[in-house]
Amino acid sequence: MQDKKQVVFSGVQPTGKITLGNYLGAIKNWRPLQEQYQCIFCVVDLHSLTVTQVPAELRKNTMDLLALYIACGLDPDVSTLFVQSHVHEHAELAWILDTVSYVGELNRMTQFKEKSRKHADNINMGLMNYPVLMASDILLYQTDLVPVGKDQVQHLELARNLAERFNSRYSETFVVPQGLVPKTGYSIKSLQDPSAKMSKSDPNENAFVALTDSKEDIRRKLRRAVTDCGSEVRFSPDKPAISNLLTIYCLSSGESVEQAEQRFAGKGYGDFKSAVADAVIAMVEPIQEEQKKLLQDKAYLESVLKRGAESASKTAAKTLAKVYRKVGLVPASR
């Protein structure tokens, strides 16, 4: 008998513009996983509601992100691609997991604290509950591996803790997932402040490159990117801004750090930044073209979502039924 493939689950919020950080730290690394694992990639729209959204924009961003997934090489014939709100079990399992989550541990989450500071007028329960919903996404599919960037590692740790806590309280129910964090690109930094991560919610548009940015915008943003003292293009802790640009260059072009350092030896930051822009443009242009094409075929995208939701629902319903049984809920007679 063939061994069952391990399950991979990951997702991106359809909030604002998807950045180079999201791509290099996450989506780009998902494509090769499809060859080896049973992959489930979700557009996590319910998560987006934790900050105020314009409904029409959320709807557009959701379809844009689905098209982007496919344009980045996620294949709906091989992987399950779906929208979180289409599978109601996500919200339902989150409720059960809430009952084994402690207010103290959620209060301590770095992202909750950061977002509470940023959105001081809207510290809603969803913002605090967010990592529990993320745990629900992961645990519903009995996920083995979760490919994410570094900023999600703390949330993943909570998902592991909740799985272990539930298992020990109610007997073995969930697979305890492992994180899959890339060796490079796990934290792409802001182009304006290399001590902060590149974030799609950054109010300063010069701080990030969006995957949908025009060539001109990409060139301008990289030209304006902050640099470090000196003029040498070298990967080093005392050169955080240049190291970040080198990481972006290497991941976009496929060159190693050593090759890149050699290529730019004796050249100034200006030449280097323009080469980074060239590499980024060469990487994102085909994705942009493919995404545009896909967005013109609404019927196709809807069929992908329908198929994805049907497939995801099967596993999700099975896990939720098991969980309801374990905690002592009486099954509904049908």
Minimum distance of ligand TYM from residue 76's CB (angstroms): 19
Q: Is 197 annotated as a binding residue?
A: yes
Residue closer to ligand TYM by CB (options 28, 265) is 28
Q: CA-to-CA distance for 43 and 27, rounded, in angstroms?
A: 12
Q: Which residues of the shown chain bind ligand TYM in the complex (CB under 6 A)?
A: 9-13, 21-22, 25-26, 44, 47, 134, 137-138, 146, 148-149, 151-152, 155, 186-188, 197-198
Question: Taking the C-alpha atoms of 297, 147, 16 and 76 in order, what is their torsion angle to the nearest 10 degrees?
Answer: 10
Q: Is 150 annotated as a binding residue?
A: yes
Sheet holding 178-180, edge to edge: 80-83, 38-43, 7-12, 145-147, 178-180
Looking up tokens 């943003």 gives: 221
12 and 22 Cβ atoms separated by less than 8 Å? yes
Residue closer to ligand TYM by CB (options 152, 253) is 152
Burial of 172 (0-12, 13-18, 19+ CB in 10 A): exposed
Residue closer to ligand TYM by CB (options 187, 243) is 187
The token pair at 73 is 């090489």
Minimum distance of ligand TYM from residue 195's CB (angstroms): 12
Q: Is 318 annotated as a binding residue?
A: no
Q: CA-to-CA distance for 37 and 7, rounded, in angstroms?
A: 6
Minimum distance of ligand TYM from residue 187's CB (angstroms): 5
The token pair at 30 is 């998902």
Minimum distance of ligand TYM from residue 179's CB (angstroms): 9
159 and 177 Cβ atoms separated by less than 8 Å? yes
Q: Is 194 annotated as a binding residue?
A: no
Residue numbers annotated as active site: 115, 197, 200
Residue closer to ligand TYM by CB (options 156, 294) is 156
Minimum distance of ligand TYM from residue 55's CB (angstroms): 19
From 180, 178, 148, select the one nearest 163 (Cα to Cα): 178
3-state SS of 199-244?
Answer: CCCCCCHHHCCECCCCHHHHHHHHHCCCCCCCCCCCCCCCCHHHHH
Residue closer to ligand TYM by CB (options 134, 277) is 134
Q: Is 206 annotated as a binding residue?
A: no
Q: CA-to-CA distance for 227 and 244, rounded, in angstroms?
A: 10
Q: Is 270 annotated as a binding residue?
A: no
Binding residues for L-tryptophan: 137
Binding residues for ATP: 13-15, 21-22, 149-151, 188, 197-201
